[in-house]
Amino acid sequence: MGRLQIRLSAASHFTMKEVAMEMKTEREWEQAFVDAVDETYAYEFARRMEIPKTNPVLGYRTAGSAAERETGEMIAREMERIGLKNVCRDRIPVDRWEFERAVMRYTDRQGKEHVFQLGAYQTQFVTEGPQPFTLVYLGKATADCYEAQDVRGKLVMGDINQREEWWINFPVYQAYRKGAAAFVAVQNQGYGEIHPTALNAQDIAGPEQAAAFSMSQADAAVIKADMEELVRQGQPPEVAVLFDAATRVERNKETWNILGSIPGREEDSLILLSAHYDSYFNGFQDDNTAVAMMLGIARTLISMGYRPRKTLVFCALAAEEWGIADSKYDWSTGAYQEVFSARPEWRGRVMADLNFELPAYAHGRRDGVRCTYEYAAYMERFIEEFCGRHEALYSQAYPQGVEVLCPIQTWSDDFSMAIGGIPSLVNEFSGGEFMETHYHSQFDSEAFYDAKVYRFHHQLYGSLAIALDHLAAAPLDFERVFEALTASVDRELAVRIGAEEGLKELFKEIEGAKEAARRLREGLEKGNQRYRACLDRGDEEGARREAGGIRDLRERAMKAFQKEQDWLVRLNWHDDVLFPQEASQNNLRAIYRALQCLDAGNGRAALEAIYEIDNNRYAFEFEEEVFQYFTEYVLRQPGERLQWGKGRILHHENLFGLVRSLLKKVLPENREDLPGENRGPQEGPACFAQEREWLARTAARQEQCLRDDIMYVTAALRKLHALIEPDRD
């Protein structure tokens, strides 16, 4: 496959028009870009992206599928057509998913035949035509729902709320362990709330042999009504259906990320713009409009005759929604593989990744840019100045303005970019109601398109690319990281476990590193100001001199960013971004609260606290084998299956037995082994002595973890300080 080539453009090759354009200042280029934006081009290309699909009725462009490859080729041709250079395809290893169909036929009690179109998850299930199945409805389909139910070879239908209860992989694997042929999920709030006919799709985060599909509430209601009548008649809640499905997962296949560029003159510096082109359903917002906006920005810059200092790379990423089987971290595969496998040389050279997600919908009255801590200060200044110059651009779309949020989250490709050493940001998209209503459903369509928002995002992020191009170095500010780290440390908890000395040493290192970061930031800011001033007055020689003058600072900052991501970025069991000591801190708070509850004889309140410890919420509703499977595959799988989650979770407190012991004592329905008069919940501290001892041992382990974490973070800060300011001694 072709590789992106970075070429220097000789000044002697410029036309007179190009020379004249080179004399524009940054502000003049910004205004020219703002005036030239044409969001209708991007809208039309986003609609064209809907044509390739794996399922002719529902859509879907899935990882490694023929539809994804066709869309990638469409994007490559468009990149060439609008004038991007060095268009190429980077090979990306993925597990392929092809979803062709899932059609269920059901004849109700009145003799009416219904044809239901089902969505699918990334699992293996092929019927080779319509086949008869028994379908049984089991409510939430947790472990206790299977009591006295034989589901072997049957389809199990269950209700699910993935936002507030549990992820799809748990009830699916529970059904698989019980011998079910497949699981049919019905969204019960959480996602797909826009309409009863909405289907939903998410990453499966489980083994491909545990098959799963998605049915709308409206279709499920038809079957449930008949099942209720069967139950009233004393019959089991089972019906006969015909099911025709073809969903295939093949491991160790490939797909391609599509790249094009506007070559710059500085060989060792790049700016990346990215968006993913795989999708569920038609994916208009997620993420057709993002890919199209990226191309729209490129097209506008090219039509203006803009010649960047840095090479601007436009990357359409494959396999964001899913790309690897049987992994908790099965999304963002394309971005992870791009920076860790296809382009590791980008680390230290790409000063920023501008990633785009769902950019043609407002998601609220206030817009947001979510970025790494190190870019927060720069983005605050840029947005304040940009919005001050262009109030009319944003006020109609976002009456409450634009805010900066950090840190980045794991929801999108910018997280993979960041941990790969590329400072990243993304338009904020996860906070609005769209995520609960339209997201990952067939209602993500052009019917929910906002041209004002789309135009503003073109203008904002294209202008940001121009602004970054007028800097000699990435404007990284590590003070923000160290301030956030300071705020994340629970001092009272550290004192409680006897870590006062370690705490003092930690804060000493934070202050030293923070002061060094201030000097680095000031050096970068001054160098960037001088560089930008040279460019604005057309002093090429001066600009090169200023860039060379802060080269050492730039390289130090980028190296420190890479290592900070390695050393200080961790995840909890629910994919929230944490500092290393926060996992044990959070566990200890919950453990201490549970101990207090047990001392007061309140087992129910203790269970509520234990629910928050690591992955133990799943011990409440599912069999131990299910709970263990989705714990061990994080702690025991090889790194290539964990991808961006590798090494981000280091330990787990397995409290399955404790949870079940407490449940048996506090829930009367679990005490059938006792005479009727004694089946009430046990109360009083004495009856929880065994559980309290268990929790006390857990507390001791987590206290040691926290002491170790404080020492680890202190050592990491010492090393970061040395990278930021190597000559401080």
Dihedral sign for Cα 189, 195, 197, 201, please.
negative
Question: Which residue type sits at 404?
Answer: V
| Per-residue H/E/C for 414-473 | HHHHHHCCCCEEEECCCCCCHHHHCCCCCCCCHHHCCHHHHHHHHHHHHHHHHHHHCCCC
Q: What is the CB-side half-sphere exposure of residue 464 using CA atoms within 13 A?
A: 31
pLDDT over 70 percentage in the chain: 94
- Indicate if the pLDDT at residue 272 is higher than 50: yes
- Indicate if the pLDDT at residue 266 is higher than 90: no
**Which neighbouring-strand residues pair with 314?**
260, 273
pLDDT at 23: 57
Residues 301-321, mean pLDDT to the nearest whole number: 97
Select from 1.10.3720.10, 3.50.30.30, 3.30.300.30, 3.40.1010.10 the CATH code of 98-249: 3.50.30.30
Residues 179-193, mean pLDDT to the nearest whole number: 94
- Indicate if the pLDDT at residue 267 is higher than 90: no
Q: How far is CA 71 from the centre of its chain?
A: 22
pLDDT digits (tens, 9 = 90+) for 372-428: 999 999 999 999 999 999 988 888 889 999 999 999 999 999 999 999 999 999 999
Q: What are phi and psi of 351, to 5 degrees?
A: -80, -20
pLDDT over 90 percentage in the chain: 89
Q: What distance in Å separates the CA atoms of residue 375 and residue 644, rounded to the nearest whole number?
A: 21
Confidence bin at 685 (pLDDT 50/70/90): confident
Contact between 209 and 176 under an 8 Å Cβ cutoff? The reply is yes
pLDDT at 363: 87
pLDDT at 676: 37
pLDDT at 686: 80
CATH 3.50.30.30, the chain: domain bounds:
98-249
Contact between 582 and 486 under an 8 Å Cβ cutoff? The reply is no
pLDDT at 268: 86
Residues 329-336, mean pLDDT to the nearest whole number: 98
Residues 65-90, mean pLDDT to the nearest whole number: 98
Contact between 12 and 258 under an 8 Å Cβ cutoff? The reply is no
- Indicate if the pLDDT at residue 242 is higher than 70: yes
- Indicate if the pLDDT at residue 667 is higher than 90: no
Strands 270-276 vs 238-262: parallel, antiparallel or unpaired: unpaired
Q: What is the CB-side half-sphere exposure of residue 461 using CA atoms within 13 A?
A: 36
Q: Is the peptide bond before 407 cis (omega within 30 degrees of 0)?
A: yes
Residues 317-329, mean pLDDT to the nearest whole number: 97
Question: Which residue type sits at 159?
Answer: D
- Indicate if the pLDDT at residue 9 is higher than 50: no
Strands 577-578 vs 570-571: parallel, antiparallel or unpaired: antiparallel
Confidence bin at 148 (pLDDT 50/70/90): confident
pLDDT at 729: 54
Q: Which residue has the tokens 């004889």?
A: 601
Residues 657-686, mean pLDDT to the nearest whole number: 66
pLDDT digits (tens, 9 = 90+) for 506-520: 999 999 999 999 999
Average pLDDT in the chain: 93
Confidence bin at 350 (pLDDT 50/70/90): very high
Question: Which residue type sits at 416?
Answer: S
- Indicate if the pLDDT at residue 678 is higher than 70: no
pLDDT digits (tens, 9 = 90+) for 638-664: 999 999 999 999 899 999 999 999 999
pLDDT at 32: 96
**Predicted TM-score of the model (pTM):** 0.92
Residues 248-276, mean pLDDT to the nearest whole number: 96
pLDDT digits (tens, 9 = 90+) for 100-143: 999 999 999 999 999 999 999 999 999 999 999 999 999 999 99
Coil/strand/helix, residue 520: helix
Residues 188-214, mean pLDDT to the nearest whole number: 95
Contacts of 223 (CB under 8 A, 6+ apart): 106, 135, 137, 157, 239
Confidence bin at 669 (pLDDT 50/70/90): low
Confidence bin at 681 (pLDDT 50/70/90): low
- Indicate if the pLDDT at residue 546 is higher than 50: yes
CA triple 385-360-83, angle to 5 deg: 80
pLDDT digits (tens, 9 = 90+) for 569-628: 999 999 999 999 999 999 999 999 999 999 999 999 999 999 999 999 999 999 999 999
Q: What distance in Å separates the CA atoms of residue 135 and residue 153, rounded to the nearest whole number?
A: 10
Q: Which of 487, 475, 484 is nearest to 520 (CA)?
A: 475
Q: What distance in Å separates the CA atoms of residue 155 and residue 164, rounded to the nearest whole number?
A: 24
Q: What are phi and psi of 88, to 5 degrees?
A: -150, 170
pLDDT digits (tens, 9 = 90+) for 475-486: 999 999 999 999
